[in-house]
Structure 1
Amino acid sequence: MKLLSLKYPFHLKNTTTWALSILLAASLGLSGCEDTKLPPSSTAAPSSSEQNTEPVSFWVATDTHYLDKALEDGGTAFQSYVSGGDGKMLPYSDELAEALIYDVQQKKPKFLVLSGDLTNNGEASSHKELAEKLKRIENSGTSVYVIPGNHDLFNPWARSFEGDKQLVAEHITDKDFTGMYGDFGYNEAVSRDKNSLSYLVKAAPGLYLLMIDSSQYNNNEKYGFPQTDGRILPGTFSWMDECVKVAAEQHASIITVMHHNLLSHTSMSVSGFKLNNGQEALKMLRRSGLNLVLSGHIHMQDIRRDPPVSEENKAASQALPVYDIATSAMAVNPHQYGAMTFDPSSRAVTYLTSAVDVEGWAAASGINDPHLLNFKTYAEETFAGSSYNKAMNKLKETTFTEADKQSMAEVMAKLNVKYFAGTAASSIDEIKAMPGYKLWEGMEGGFMSGYIRSMAENQEQSLTSLKIVLTKQ
């Protein structure tokens, strides 16, 4: 949720959606993709790589929102855009990408998944620069697989920033996307959907990635703004069924990847994050034995399960549990990705969040910018400060005393930092004991007080780690 990124057109000021960020600000075909070659028949002798049963390390990152440095001069227009936005660390967008490359080169995961919103607002030069960086990752021995998000294609909000002006920048189409990112999944695809930019790729022995294009972008230019809600097309569902058959021939497992969320990751009544046809998608996945989805979009770190862990009625307990891991945005504090493993012999998958090592990259690169050398502290303080200021702005017209407003804003700042990291449970007792929290609790109505309550809810499971066993097709 981009600091509850509500994703409504925010004029041209900011193209995301504070739904857990703007919440503070707002209320506060490809047609023509080819069905390609099927894998070798399961009766064929396995290659040496197929006989490898060693666990595989891989990462998932999302919402990088990369902005080409050439598109901003640090002037007043850019500063205003950043301060009015949803918490993205755009001034250090390039440095975050470089730090991610550094981490990959140091730790050498087998592959890296990027699940959409690769760029800030679909700027052509941002896509071009990011694709060049991804080439460096692949040249280091790590494969990269991407899908687009709602910010990436046909985006009328693509902008550059010069002095006190925002200028329209060139954006890209779906065909441009598959051309620019062909080496990062599309060219290796076992099958591609004719209806969207979805594809199936074999990422490791015994493991396929079902990369689903859930974004709606064909009417963006007509509307004049990027459509933020997501869906899976009927034809894509049919294609997904065929992909399951392909994996079954190989007795392999599947991890599904999409930008939009399969399940709801907040109790707040907000739209645009969960797939519009999420229930249909859930039924299809469960019917096909697909029990793990990797998503992004909402910007906060969260793991949900259907049925919930607490569900005890007999019908629900007999349903295949399906997990949706929403990895928090790489562009937003704490700037983390999901470090994962897959064990071909047991089909066990593990997930654990890990912050990108900006400080290590900066030191190794001889950079003397104190913000980068102390990035963890700087990023957290910046995010907390933004949350504090938005809360104070929301409370401006209330009858609370100035001291009370400050106390309430301190709660928002502290809780929002933990919430977006997926670690609110570790500090919730301390936060609830703060005077400002009691004031929020006593506040009747209003989006902000509801947001505070939603952040403080008890969680049934860890939101930053998971271990499950994938089903065999």
Structure 2
Amino acid sequence: MKKKIGFILLSIVVIVGAIIYFNRNQEQQEEALFKKEAIEFWVISDPHYIDKSLTDSGIAFKKIKETAAGKELDYQKESWQSFINKAIKQKPDMLIITGDLTLNGEKVSAEKLAELLKQLTNKGINVFVIPGNHDVNDGWARKFVGDKQEKTEAISIADFKEIFADFGYQNATNYDKNSLSYSVSVNQKYNFLFLDSNIYPEDNQPQTSPTTGGTIRGKTMKWVKKQLEKAKQEKKKTLVFVHHNIYAHNKLLSSGFVLNNADEFKQVLVEYQVPIVFSGHIHAQDIMTETIKDQPLTEIVSSSFSIAPQAYGVVKLNENSFDYQKQENTHSVSEIENYPQYIKELFIEDGKRLGYSQLIDAGLSDSQKLDTAAEFVGQVNYRFFSGNDFITDKEVEKIKAEAGYQIITEHSKFLKEYIDSIIQDNNQEDNRLKQNFD
């Protein structure tokens, strides 16, 4: 009998001890990342990193570069190293990347990018990442050998969690079991929600071409509401980071870029008074605010870090204030004499190719007119994607008076419609934002 009582008492002690241990672990897990109130973080999107081991710079890779929408793919490792050196010197508290970490979901690219990012965490700079539509179970994962493209191992869901474990998932306060979403308690005033909005097959299903569109799935939406309610009860504000957009930042760049259930998602965000959403995906720098149910909701879209001017946002976050400034990564790469100018010319050339192809298809053969119009397209395209299209009506009139615009108007309905859609952003400045929170 005494042995039985002793066994019962021992069992109770073990159970109580386990409960205490679990509660301590839970408290530790939910402990804020920082005790200080003033936080500085940097944010980028769509770096589309491809590791050098996947290409021999042959014919196949050259073709990819020509159709890569102005991405710089040759010196990414060197460019990233310069950026990391700058971050280590300036010491932001965090670097956040809102998806499309890799070119097309190559596992090797993810692993090598993680090695670069590890330099930051080793210096005490936290890194948080989420996947983009090109990152997980992407059937387009390729290496380039001579004149051929060959399949290479893609990133599975399990791979993404493992490779980027040190960049968000280990510091997470809570995880969504149905996606690669997670939340982080940043300090006593703020929580950050990192959301996986992508549509991709499960690991046991065949890999497919990447789906451009995205959604916040039903079970994930429930999890989001739970995290926002918890923050509300704790009297904390939440900032949201997601790959896909909540607003249409250009009338021609909305299908596949704006979340499929953006209206529902925005209603949830304003219900819980989320002030700021960060996203990427369209590769264009843009800031847009709408008032929904008397609640302003701002989205900051970061341009692609793989194109000029390799912009990154610097955010200074205090108890009741938010200060965002876009910076340009004006660094040097030893292989290129003037790297910022080099990547700018790459992107402008891509815009010029669009101009040439559309006008030639429209029947224009005058080489001088083609050159003039193509150069015009390249320059206007660069202004839009770099976030420098917030201009006055007088400036628009001046641009439309240029010979390039007149040639386009005469010869290409499609090109004119495209130029008209990107020539002016008249809602708000795209490179800086200051807000005071109540």
TM-score normalised to structure 1 length: 0.82
Q: Equivalent residues in 2 for 1:354-433 (5 A)? A: 354-359=327-332, 362=333, 367=334, 369=335, 371=336, 373-400=337-364, 401-425=366-390, 428=396, 430-433=398-401
Q: 1:270 to 1:188 in 2, by over 3 A?
A: closer
Deviation, structure 1 residue 323: 0.7
Cα shift readout 1:54-79 (whole Å, capped 9, x = no counterpart): x2211111101111111111111111
Given that 1:341 and 1:350 are in contact with CA atoms closer than 8 Å, whether structure 2 keeps it comes out as yes
Aligned to 2:403: 435
Is the partner of 2:246 in helix, strand or coil? coil
Q: Distance in 2 between matches of 1:41 and 1:123?
A: 32
- Over the residues paired in the alignment, what is the CA RMSD in angstroms? 2.4
Which of the pair has the greater relative contact order for Cα pairs under 8 Å at 6+ separation? 1
Cα shift readout 1:405-446 (whole Å, capped 9, x = no counterpart): 222111101101111100023574553331111233345632
Cα shift readout 1:266-309 (whole Å, capped 9, x = no counterpart): 022641000000000000101111121000000010111123xx
Q: 1:156 to 1:105 in 2, by over 3 A?
A: same
**Is 1:349 aligned to 2:317, yes or no?**
no
Aligned to 1:234: 218
**Is 1:273 aligned to 2:264, yes or no?**
no
Higher normalized helix content (fraction of residues): 2
Which structure has the bigger radius of gyration?
A: 2
Is the partner of 2:376 in helix, strand or coil? helix
Q: 1:135 to 1:40 in 2, by over 3 A?
A: closer
Deviation, structure 1 residue 224: 3.1
Write the letter of the residue equivalent to 2:324. Y
Deviation, structure 1 residue 247: 1.8
Counting matched residue pairs gives: 410
Write the letter of the residue equivalent to 1:396. I
Q: 1:138 to 1:436 in 2, by over 3 A?
A: same
Q: Distance in 2 between matches of 1:48 and 1:125?
A: 30
TM-score normalised to structure 2 length: 0.88
Write the letter of the residue equivalent to 1:467. K
Q: Equivalent residues in 2 for 1:2-151 (5 A)? A: 50=35, 52-53=36-37, 55-151=38-134
Q: Distance in 2 between matches of 1:198 and 1:273?
A: 19
Q: Equivalent residues in 2 for 1:116-265 (5 A)? A: 116-218=99-201, 222=206, 224-265=208-249
- Consecutive unaligned residues in structure 1, runs of 5 or more: 1-35, 308-315
- Consecutive unaligned residues in structure 2, runs of 5 or more: 1-23
Given that 1:37 and 1:191 are in contact with CA atoms closer than 8 Å, whether structure 2 keeps it comes out as no
Q: 1:337 to 1:166 in 2, by over 3 A?
A: same
Is the partner of 1:90 in helix, strand or coil? coil
Q: Distance in 1 between matches of 2:196 and 2:213?
A: 12
**Is 1:455 aligned to 2:386, yes or no?**
no
Write the letter of the residue equivalent to 1:286. V
Is the partner of 2:186 in helix, strand or coil? strand
Given that 1:160 and 1:168 are in contact with CA atoms closer than 8 Å, whether structure 2 keeps it comes out as yes
Q: Equivalent residues in 2 for 1:274-353 (5 A)? A: 274-307=258-291, 319-344=294-319, 346=320, 348-353=321-326
Q: 1:382 to 1:176 in 2, by over 3 A?
A: same
Is the partner of 1:65 in helix, strand or coil? coil
Given that 1:193 and 1:199 are in contact with CA atoms closer than 8 Å, whether structure 2 keeps it comes out as yes
Cα shift readout 1:218-250 (whole Å, capped 9, x = no counterpart): 179647311111000111111111111322343
Cα shift readout 1:64-95 (whole Å, capped 9, x = no counterpart): 11111111111111111101221110112212
Cα shift readout 1:308-361 (whole Å, capped 9, x = no counterpart): xxxxxxxx6x520111111000001111111111012x2x111111112322xx
Q: Distance in 2 between matches of 1:413 and 1:456?
A: 12
Q: Distance in 1 between matches of 2:74 and 2:187?
A: 36
